[in-house]
Structure 1
């Protein structure tokens, strides 16, 4: 019998979701630094490979035991493909042609796909009219914050790069539904996160070496310190730590709610820019944040039900 999901998130889940959005919001910046010197597949392979090393070290320190059943490792490989290999590769490739702001907007369509996919495939997460309205309102807020001019394809923005980010969003949605099976397996979230990024590394490493060639660690073509710092931050914080939070939220609150993080990512990106890059917020940003807050409250549902809406 499958354990039930609490589709209305509590304060603990919301705090984890906001933390996750900050970790993933920062990843767009660090990817932007890395793509200046490294090819996409190499970046993604380093990201998941170093994250795997980090997570397995934590597993050993905690005295946890890796699963031995082949079935579980097959699930890890599929989850790694859907949640890392496909979306990470497409997003990093897309960011070589489009700006990170546009990439985050397109990535924020994930809940649109997620509500539909979860509604079709999960009996306990059917897409209600209120959830659909909430996702639509939230996405409008995201577009407002980044600004419509950045979506103008006449400004030589690659259409293929935009499509790639949308396919990545769909892959994230499918992964959130597929990942629900981990709850029934009773695995520790750290084990799940470690297994997923390990599966991703096993898939990506040979492909990256074949397509991009071996990474040069020394010499004129070696990555700069700034790039290595970005890769390490991506691996340890935006991947290893982020996926521990991801699987905790997924287990307690379900596939639809975990996808709300993609609506919060642009907010965290703007706030990080305000704090560390001396950027300023305009009224349009606050208006966008307000719409996103309304959209999130509609998807969560509790406030709207209290108002009998």
Structure 2
């Protein structure tokens, strides 16, 4: 297994992984403004449920056509599917959308940088071989300070809307990180698209079941060209394609390293939030983002230096 954060620039596999990493950052970061658009026409949990209904069916069909190993049959298969379907998707998407409805797409994207830190914590407990080095812990620590700074602005009281949204997203990030570590830990035998598809369908079913519990109804959905385009982007680009790339990377890299992608989501989310919705972040939050980026630089220093030299 390749040690976390260690790369060899002469290996073409490393370069492909880096290209996938960049593509995923664009797809995933673009999901935040797409969700912000859809929230004007649909309740948050229903957005996530419909998104993964469609993407799950698409990916399962793709898995059936491209591989014979699409049926779950082992304990490892089930653990990977449950890790994704009961934790990664419901927490990382459904509950996250509820939190974003109480904040902004820019802040939601910025809080995604919590996930690498929480993943490192879960990996320390559950996957000893993925434990980061002391130098990498410094980078994670710098990023954590930056995240704390992003949580302070706007939280003038512990019960205001912004603070509640941040708390919901924080809980969502904990579940997302745990789900990704469980997927990494599971020794499944079915293909990556199949694991992704079954996880999406399980997660969508759970979100549909929970949606009416929190007062959501299909009657609250407004169908028009805008919401169709937003859901189309979420389903195809930010889900069907993005999650296949994500699980390919998590198969080849540690959960901690793969989840560094969440350090890049804020860049796309902040730019898109400003251009599309006129959203701006307080200066303290921007300072926090600089620290998050600095922490990312420490974690990926070998790759960055090697690429610049090469």
TM bucket, shorter chain: 0.7 to 0.9
Closer/same/farther in 2, CA of residues 66 and 104 from structure 1, 3 Å limit: same
Q: Which moved more, 1:206-215 or 1:9-18?
A: 206-215
Measured after TM superposition, the shift of residue 116 of structure 1 is: 1.5
Q: Is 2:102 the partner of 1:97?
A: yes
Cα distance in 2 between the residues matched to 1:284 and 1:179: 35
Measured after TM superposition, the shift of residue 228 of structure 1 is: 1.8
Residue aligning to 2:61: 57
SS in 2 for 1:185: coil
Closer/same/farther in 2, CA of residues 68 and 295 from structure 1, 3 Å limit: closer
Q: Is 2:175 the partner of 1:175?
A: no
Mapped contact 2:105–2:273 kept (Cα < 8 A) = no
Measured after TM superposition, the shift of residue 278 of structure 1 is: 9.9
Closer/same/farther in 2, CA of residues 109 and 221 from structure 1, 3 Å limit: closer
Residues 30-179 of structure 1 aligned to structure 2 (within 5 Å): 30-69=34-73, 71=75, 72-73=77-78, 75-139=80-144, 151-154=153-156, 156-179=160-183
Residue aligning to 1:205: 208
Residue aligning to 2:198: 195
Q: TM-score when scaled to structure 2?
A: 0.81
CA-based RMSD:
3.4
Residue aligning to 1:20: 24
Residue aligning to 1:247: 247
Measured after TM superposition, the shift of residue 30 of structure 1 is: 0.9
SS in 2 for 1:260: helix
Cα distance in 2 between the residues matched to 1:288 and 1:161: 18
**Equivalent pairs, count:** 295
Closer/same/farther in 2, CA of residues 224 and 11 from structure 1, 3 Å limit: same
Mapped contact 1:34–1:231 kept (Cα < 8 A) = yes
Q: TM-score when scaled to structure 1?
A: 0.81
Residue aligning to 2:266: 266
Cα distance in 2 between the residues matched to 1:15 and 1:278: 30
Closer/same/farther in 2, CA of residues 104 and 151 from structure 1, 3 Å limit: farther
Q: Which moved more, 1:92-101 or 1:124-133?
A: 124-133
Q: Which moved more, 1:96-105 or 1:47-56?
A: 96-105
Cα distance in 2 between the residues matched to 1:289 and 1:299: 15
SS in 2 for 1:36: coil
Residue aligning to 1:302: 302
Structure 2: stretches of 5+ with no match in the other structure: 8-13
Q: Which moved more, 1:186-195 or 1:60-69?
A: 60-69
Cα distance in 2 between the residues matched to 1:109 and 1:222: 33
SS in 2 for 1:152: coil
Mapped contact 2:117–2:140 kept (Cα < 8 A) = yes
Measured after TM superposition, the shift of residue 172 of structure 1 is: 1.6
Measured after TM superposition, the shift of residue 270 of structure 1 is: 3.8
Mapped contact 1:42–1:212 kept (Cα < 8 A) = no
Mapped contact 1:115–1:131 kept (Cα < 8 A) = no
